[in-house]
Amino acid sequence: MIVLGVDIGGSGIKGALVDTEKGELVSERIRIETPQPATPEAVAKTLKDLVSRFDYNGPVGCGFPATVHHGTAFTAANIDKTWINTPAEKLFTETTGLDCYVLNDADAAGIAEVEFGAGRNVPGVVMMITIGTGLGSAIFVDGKLFPNTELGHLILNDDIAEHYCSDSARQRHDLSWKKWGKRFNKYLHRLEFLFNPDLIILGGGASKSFEKFSEKIDVRTRVVTAETLNTAGIIGAALHAGRCSDNGIKPNMEPQVCAEPEEKA
């Protein structure tokens, strides 16, 4: 099955057609800058532009930087705050004219890795950590996803973890890879203490530079980089949409409501 997968991030919106049987991109990967401010209407318009560049008329999977429950975004860590309580599936479906299925972006990346990458056939607890503008997380137990974990928001060194050791934090504080690696290692130790994973998979843009900071990682858990590399989010989103469509599940067009969680400044 060929499905359009889209990875919506704080800096770019990327999409490609995916063969969901093989977990491979079968078109060029197109990237459009995320509009600023990244309001719901602006992102939806950009998504429509992206979709129009493909000769495609099927379900669309969208990895999104928020917790997504029954199609509604409940948080907005690295995107405009007006996304909170926005019915993302309804908005994207109505704007593009195609059935759009939305899930957390790290969950999407994790799905790709568990199905086709480093987490394939790995029993026990597998964690996927995406390192980019923020820190995304996904947890699988014996291959089954526990959705919408936001472990980038753990408190670490009196700060939110992703403010302390995301790739954007490395750039913002002008840290060398080794100095940043020490920070990230603290984060992995916290995850190991809390969850005792059997495998940690690193994804996102910074994972491509793993050899530059790997010597600073000393957790007992095996740590590897994503085999699907920076296409994991696109592949996982396409897999999610394909499965929903195959099972006759339609995008959720009914808005949910959730109070905005407090966040440490």
| pLDDT tens-digit readout, 213-238 | 999 999 999 999 999 988 999 999 99
Q: Check residue 264 and give its pLDDT.
A: 46
- DSSP structural state of residue 3: E
For tokens 């984060």, name the residue: 187
What is the pLDDT, as a whole number, of residue 258?
A: 58
Question: Which part of the chain has CATH 3.30.420.40?
Answer: 2-106+232-246, 120-226
Task: Identify which of 21, 28, 91 has the alpha carbon closest to the alpha carbon of residue 60.
Answer: 91
Whether the pLDDT of residue 10 is over 70: the answer is: yes
Coil, strand, or helix at residue 98? coil
pTM of the model: 0.92
pLDDT at 121 over 60: yes
Task: Please choose, from the candidates 211, 192, 205, the residue with its C-alpha nearest in 3D space to the C-alpha of residue 14.
Answer: 205
Nearest CA to 191 out of 237, 246, 128, 121 is that of 128
d(CA 4, CA 237): 8
For residues 166 and 153, give the distance between their C-alpha atoms in angstroms, rounded to a whole number: 11
Classify 2-106+232-246 by CATH class: alpha beta
- Residue listed under structure tokens 């995916």: 18
Architecture of the domain delimited by 120-226: 2-Layer Sandwich (3.30)
**Model pLDDT for residues 189-198, shown as the tens digit of each residue:** 999 999 999 9
Could you read off the pLDDT of 126-174 as tens digits, one per residue? 999 999 888 999 999 999 999 999 999 999 999 999 999 999 999 999 9
